[in-house]
Amino acid sequence: MLDDLKHKRILVTGATSGIGEAVVRALRDADAQVLAVGRNVEKLTLLREICGCDVLEADLSSPEGTEAISLDSGPLHGAVNCAGLALLQPCLDLTAAAFDRMMSINARAAALVSREVARRMISQGSGGAIVNVSSQAGLIALKDHLGYAASKAAMDAITRNLCAELGPHNIRVNSVNPTVTMTPMAKVGWSDPEKADALRNQIPMRRFAEPGEVVMPILFLLSDAAAMISGATIPIDGGYTAV
């Protein structure tokens, strides 16, 4: 399935931690060329040393950060919008600052990065694939998730609109919508057994996702095996949003 990713150039945002870093590593294992985008220079340098990827420092919370992404050094075949931020607040305590920051990174950055990626793909005339890393929170109500859910629902809407506009250029756009994924940060955030069990017990499979279980669907959507899949929002949640 992944043979066709070999030597293809894929941009990954949010590349220095969590799902983004796991995507970079998996793409490099598939012999893809990766342009890893993140804010932390030290982590980018380490990622480059370990994985042999190209790196680019950029703060995607501002439009200037997305416009600083240079895609002129070679062909581009795919992109994964993995940069994200979760500032969870009860609706009665929601702040404008937290809401705006999540919208700027989770939604606006995905739209603007996709714009630059699409321009490059169209100029090449080669088509391509974009995968947005959304969340189950974009599909179903969750306590204390108002701002985060709004930003991820916006990302899913961005996916559908990009699908419609870019389809004639043979550019596919999809979202994956994971449940809690056990990255190092999530393991800390969900370390309270009472809190974790309350959500796990609502998941038909009774567990959270492992990073690889989110990464492999992303790689599938980037590959030619998904050549007729576009505009989809795919839950990776053990059935949580189905019940």
40-66 pLDDT, tens digit per residue, is 999 999 999 999 999 999 999 998 888
Dihedrals phi, psi of 79, to nearest 5 degrees: -150, 145
Hey, what domains does the chain have and what are their CATH numbers?
3-180+213-231 (3.40.50.720)
148 is catalytic: yes
240 is catalytic: no
For the chain, list residues with pLDDT below 50: none
Question: Is the separation of the CB atoms in 42 and 17 below 8 Å?
Answer: no
Question: Is the separation of the CB atoms in 132 and 158 below 8 Å?
Answer: yes
Catalytic residue among 43, 152, 187, 240: 152
Question: Is the separation of the CB atoms in 107 and 90 below 8 Å?
Answer: no
Kindly give the interhelix angle for 18-29 and 211-222, rounded to the nearest 10 degrees: 60
The dihedral over CA atoms of 123, 129, 131, 132, expressed in degrees to the nearest 10, equals 30
Q: Look at residue 34 in the predicted model and tell me its pLDDT.
A: 96
Catalytic residue among 8, 143, 148, 187: 148
Q: Look at residue 1 in the predicted model and tell me its pLDDT.
A: 59
**Chain segment 81-100, per-residue pLDDT in tens:** 999 999 989 999 999 999 99
Tell me the DSSP string of 92-150: GG--HHHHHHHIIIIIIHHHHHHHHHHHHHHHHT--EEEEEE--GGGTS--TTBHHHHH
* Mean residue pLDDT across the chain: 94
* 181 vs 187: CA distance, rounded Å: 8
